[in-house]
Amino acid sequence: MGMAGVALPAALGSSLVACTPALNWRVVQDPDGFWRALFPQKPVEFSREISLPTGQRLALTLWAVRMDLLQLSVGVAQPTGGQRWRPEDYPALISALRQARVATIGASTSVAATGIQQDRPSEPNFLSGVADAQVPPALGGRRFDRLLATGRIPTDPQGGTAAARLWAEHRPFPQRIVEALAIGPDTAEVRAVAEEFLAGFAAGG
Protein backbone atom coordinates (compact mmCIF):
# COMPACT_ATOMS: atom_id res chain seq x y z
CA MET A 1 0.00 0.00 0.00
CA GLY A 2 2.95 2.31 -0.34
CA MET A 3 5.32 3.89 2.11
CA ALA A 4 4.32 3.18 5.71
CA GLY A 5 1.12 1.59 4.44
CA VAL A 6 -0.81 -1.06 6.29
CA ALA A 7 -0.44 -4.13 4.09
CA LEU A 8 -2.47 -6.59 6.10
CA PRO A 9 -1.96 -10.37 5.91
CA ALA A 10 -4.37 -12.17 3.62
CA ALA A 11 -5.62 -14.24 6.55
CA LEU A 12 -7.30 -11.12 7.92
CA GLY A 13 -9.84 -10.94 5.12
CA SER A 14 -13.56 -11.34 5.74
CA SER A 15 -16.73 -10.06 4.15
CA LEU A 16 -18.47 -6.81 4.98
CA VAL A 17 -21.96 -8.08 4.23
CA ALA A 18 -23.95 -6.88 7.21
CA CYS A 19 -25.11 -3.47 8.29
CA THR A 20 -23.29 -1.90 11.22
CA PRO A 21 -25.61 -3.10 14.05
CA ALA A 22 -25.13 -6.75 12.97
CA LEU A 23 -21.35 -6.69 13.13
CA ASN A 24 -19.66 -8.43 16.05
CA TRP A 25 -18.30 -5.33 17.77
CA ARG A 26 -16.02 -5.82 20.75
CA VAL A 27 -13.75 -3.64 22.89
CA VAL A 28 -10.03 -4.38 22.53
CA GLN A 29 -7.62 -3.05 25.16
CA ASP A 30 -3.92 -2.34 24.66
CA PRO A 31 -1.92 -4.67 26.95
CA ASP A 32 0.11 -1.63 28.09
CA GLY A 33 -2.98 0.46 28.77
CA PHE A 34 -2.30 3.22 26.23
CA TRP A 35 -5.47 2.75 24.16
CA ARG A 36 -8.72 0.90 23.74
CA ALA A 37 -10.78 0.51 20.59
CA LEU A 38 -14.04 -0.89 19.28
CA PHE A 39 -13.40 -3.45 16.52
CA PRO A 40 -16.10 -5.18 14.40
CA GLN A 41 -14.25 -8.50 14.73
CA LYS A 42 -11.21 -9.87 16.56
CA PRO A 43 -8.06 -8.07 15.34
CA VAL A 44 -4.77 -9.75 14.49
CA GLU A 45 -1.61 -8.36 16.11
CA PHE A 46 1.66 -8.07 14.19
CA SER A 47 4.78 -5.89 14.19
CA ARG A 48 7.09 -4.41 11.59
CA GLU A 49 9.44 -1.51 10.93
CA ILE A 50 8.26 1.24 8.59
CA SER A 51 9.99 4.11 6.78
CA LEU A 52 8.52 7.61 6.78
CA PRO A 53 8.84 10.03 3.84
CA THR A 54 11.48 11.86 5.92
CA GLY A 55 13.67 8.72 5.97
CA GLN A 56 13.01 8.03 9.66
CA ARG A 57 12.27 4.46 10.68
CA LEU A 58 9.71 3.51 13.29
CA ALA A 59 8.82 0.27 15.02
CA LEU A 60 5.08 -0.25 14.51
CA THR A 61 2.85 -2.76 16.30
CA LEU A 62 -0.59 -3.12 14.71
CA TRP A 63 -3.91 -4.57 15.81
CA ALA A 64 -5.87 -4.83 12.58
CA VAL A 65 -8.83 -6.31 10.74
CA ARG A 66 -9.75 -6.37 7.06
CA MET A 67 -13.27 -6.80 5.69
CA ASP A 68 -13.39 -6.84 1.89
CA LEU A 69 -11.54 -3.64 0.96
CA LEU A 70 -12.00 -1.96 4.33
CA GLN A 71 -8.99 -1.98 6.67
CA LEU A 72 -9.19 -0.90 10.32
CA SER A 73 -6.21 -0.76 12.64
CA VAL A 74 -4.74 0.69 15.79
CA GLY A 75 -0.97 1.06 15.72
CA VAL A 76 1.67 1.99 18.26
CA ALA A 77 4.77 3.62 16.73
CA GLN A 78 8.01 3.82 18.70
CA PRO A 79 11.64 4.81 18.03
CA THR A 80 14.09 2.25 16.68
CA GLY A 81 17.82 1.71 17.13
CA GLY A 82 18.06 3.15 20.60
CA GLN A 83 16.78 6.56 19.53
CA ARG A 84 14.71 8.71 21.87
CA TRP A 85 12.16 11.28 20.77
CA ARG A 86 12.19 14.76 22.28
CA PRO A 87 8.85 16.51 22.90
CA GLU A 88 9.60 18.94 20.06
CA ASP A 89 9.99 16.00 17.63
CA TYR A 90 6.34 14.99 17.79
CA PRO A 91 4.71 17.54 15.45
CA ALA A 92 7.12 16.58 12.64
CA LEU A 93 6.68 12.86 13.32
CA ILE A 94 2.89 13.12 13.21
CA SER A 95 3.09 15.24 10.05
CA ALA A 96 5.28 12.58 8.41
CA LEU A 97 2.86 9.83 9.43
CA ARG A 98 0.01 11.82 7.92
CA GLN A 99 1.97 12.29 4.69
CA ALA A 100 2.70 8.56 4.51
CA ARG A 101 -0.92 7.61 5.09
CA VAL A 102 -2.23 10.04 2.48
CA ALA A 103 0.25 8.58 -0.03
CA THR A 104 -1.26 5.10 0.38
CA ILE A 105 -4.42 6.23 -1.44
CA GLY A 106 -2.83 8.85 -3.71
CA ALA A 107 -5.08 11.33 -1.97
CA SER A 108 -6.49 14.14 -4.04
CA THR A 109 -7.83 16.06 -1.04
CA SER A 110 -7.21 15.92 2.68
CA VAL A 111 -8.38 17.81 5.74
CA ALA A 112 -6.34 17.81 8.97
CA ALA A 113 -7.33 19.10 12.40
CA THR A 114 -5.69 19.33 15.80
CA GLY A 115 -7.69 19.44 18.99
CA ILE A 116 -7.79 18.64 22.67
CA GLN A 117 -9.41 15.58 24.20
CA GLN A 118 -11.21 16.85 27.28
CA ASP A 119 -12.88 13.70 28.61
CA ARG A 120 -9.93 12.84 30.89
CA PRO A 121 -9.00 16.11 32.64
CA SER A 122 -6.48 14.39 34.93
CA GLU A 123 -4.23 13.24 32.06
CA PRO A 124 -0.72 14.75 31.92
CA ASN A 125 -0.01 16.98 28.92
CA PHE A 126 3.63 16.25 28.24
CA LEU A 127 3.44 18.28 25.00
CA SER A 128 1.85 21.34 26.59
CA GLY A 129 4.97 23.48 26.28
CA VAL A 130 5.84 22.57 22.70
CA ALA A 131 5.40 24.97 19.79
CA ASP A 132 2.61 23.83 17.42
CA ALA A 133 1.34 21.48 20.11
CA GLN A 134 0.06 23.89 22.75
CA VAL A 135 -2.46 22.43 25.18
CA PRO A 136 -3.46 24.99 27.83
CA PRO A 137 -2.91 23.28 31.21
CA ALA A 138 -6.28 24.45 32.50
CA LEU A 139 -8.08 22.42 29.86
CA GLY A 140 -6.53 19.08 30.74
CA GLY A 141 -7.03 16.38 28.15
CA ARG A 142 -4.52 15.42 25.47
CA ARG A 143 -3.66 16.68 22.04
CA PHE A 144 -4.97 14.66 19.10
CA ASP A 145 -4.44 15.02 15.36
CA ARG A 146 -7.17 13.91 12.95
CA LEU A 147 -6.98 13.44 9.21
CA LEU A 148 -9.62 12.80 6.53
CA ALA A 149 -8.50 12.18 2.96
CA THR A 150 -10.03 10.98 -0.32
CA GLY A 151 -8.28 9.16 -3.13
CA ARG A 152 -8.37 5.72 -4.75
CA ILE A 153 -7.48 2.15 -3.76
CA PRO A 154 -6.77 -0.92 -5.91
CA THR A 155 -9.63 -3.38 -6.21
CA ASP A 156 -8.13 -6.26 -8.23
CA PRO A 157 -4.80 -7.55 -9.62
CA GLN A 158 -5.71 -6.25 -13.08
CA GLY A 159 -5.32 -2.65 -11.97
CA GLY A 160 -8.89 -1.72 -11.16
CA THR A 161 -9.42 1.06 -8.62
CA ALA A 162 -12.26 2.58 -6.63
CA ALA A 163 -12.87 5.88 -4.89
CA ALA A 164 -11.58 5.61 -1.35
CA ARG A 165 -11.60 7.46 1.93
CA LEU A 166 -9.01 7.45 4.71
CA TRP A 167 -9.60 8.39 8.33
CA ALA A 168 -6.72 8.68 10.82
CA GLU A 169 -6.19 9.91 14.35
CA HIS A 170 -2.82 10.27 16.07
CA ARG A 171 -2.19 10.64 19.81
CA PRO A 172 1.28 11.46 21.24
CA PHE A 173 2.71 9.78 24.33
CA PRO A 174 6.23 9.66 25.76
CA GLN A 175 8.28 7.60 23.27
CA ARG A 176 5.28 6.44 21.27
CA ILE A 177 2.51 7.63 18.97
CA VAL A 178 -0.83 5.82 18.93
CA GLU A 179 -2.66 5.79 15.60
CA ALA A 180 -6.21 4.76 14.70
CA LEU A 181 -6.61 4.22 10.96
CA ALA A 182 -9.46 3.29 8.61
CA ILE A 183 -9.06 2.93 4.83
CA GLY A 184 -11.79 1.74 2.49
CA PRO A 185 -14.10 2.41 -0.45
CA ASP A 186 -16.00 5.68 -0.23
CA THR A 187 -19.44 4.16 0.31
CA ALA A 188 -22.12 4.80 2.91
CA GLU A 189 -21.72 1.29 4.37
CA VAL A 190 -17.96 1.61 4.78
CA ARG A 191 -18.25 5.14 6.20
CA ALA A 192 -20.67 3.90 8.86
CA VAL A 193 -18.31 1.13 9.99
CA ALA A 194 -15.21 3.36 9.89
CA GLU A 195 -16.89 6.15 11.84
CA GLU A 196 -18.15 3.74 14.50
CA PHE A 197 -14.64 2.30 14.81
CA LEU A 198 -13.11 5.76 15.27
CA ALA A 199 -15.83 6.82 17.70
CA GLY A 200 -14.88 3.85 19.87
CA PHE A 201 -11.17 4.71 19.91
CA ALA A 202 -9.72 6.26 23.06
CA ALA A 203 -6.12 6.77 24.14
CA GLY A 204 -4.71 7.64 27.50
CA GLY A 205 -5.87 4.80 29.72
pLDDT at residue 165 above 90? yes
Q: What is the pLDDT of residues 80-127, one digit of tens each?
A: 988 999 888 888 898 898 888 888 898 766 676 655 444 433 333 333
Q: How many helices (H) and strands (E) does the chain have?
A: 2, 10
Cα separation of the two ends of the chain: 31
Give the pTM.
Answer: 0.77
* Pairing mode, strands 142-154 and 161-173: antiparallel
Over its C-alpha atoms, the chain yields an Rg (Å, rounded) of 17
pLDDT at residue 188 above 70? yes
Residue 41 is classified by DSSP as: S
At 18, the pLDDT band (50, 70, 90 cuts) reads very low
Ranges of beta strands (E only) in the chain are 26-29, 35-39, 44-51, 57-67, 70-79, 109-117, 142-154, 161-173, 176-185, 202-203
Largest Cα–Cα distance of the chain, in whole Å? 55
